[in-house]
Amino acid sequence: MNARVYDRLSAALSVGILSVLAAVSYYLVELSDQFARLERARPTGHEADYIVEGLALTRMNREGAPLFRLSADRLTHYGDDNTSEFERPKMVSLDPDKPLVRLHANRGRTDASGQVTHLHENVLLTRAAQADRAELQVRTDYVKVLADPEIAITDRPVTIRYGESSLTGIGMEFNNSTRVLDVLSDVRGTWVAQQRKQ
């Protein structure tokens, strides 16, 4: 075989290999574009992107002092709307200038900002006793908690115990900052005056 024929065969083979590589590359680019278009077109489902077991979170104020602690048996976070769901959440106020307030529930859900938390099933709000005030307990099946300005609200039936006094009603607003509890309607109960300690 003379050198000229060998060079032509070699050049033709190189062109053929390059043509095949170009065709395969083009096919792969088109295939990846199709997958990318399908991924963008597919609606994002409400699926958990991470789960935390045994959560304990403390929220601080601007000065770095603790405001409240949130704990839960399990937190499930959803990336599509940035919400979180809790199993057996517990919220505890940590402000030393205010009475200790605890909130417990079977389930909870917080919005993307973390400012609004919804508590469901067996909700118990407890304000600790102080020198001149008895312990306050509020039971209901749903409470909406606003982190700022520390308000718990419900439109559901509530049962309230304050020392030996008991009340029932529909709807409630508890303001932890002002220490005021309002029962909104259908209030019934027995009020026992507290005896002041000498």
Same domain, 158 and 110: yes
Number of domains comprising the chain: 2
pLDDT bracket for residue 121 (50, 70, 90):
very high
Same domain, 30 and 92: no
Same domain, 31 and 56: no
Write the CATH number for 72: 2.60.450.10
Same domain, 166 and 80: yes
Same domain, 67 and 164: yes
Q: What is the mean pLDDT of residues 59-66?
A: 79
Query: Is residue 96 predicted with pLDDT exceeding 70?
Result: yes
Residue 197 lies in a domain: no
Query: Is residue 165 predicted with pLDDT exceeding 70?
Result: yes
Same domain, 163 and 84: yes
Same domain, 181 and 96: yes
**By residue range, what is the domain housing residue 5?**
1-42
Residue 2 lies in a domain: yes
Same domain, 108 and 135: yes
- pTM equals 0.69
**Residue 95's closest CA among 17, 181, 179, 35?**
179
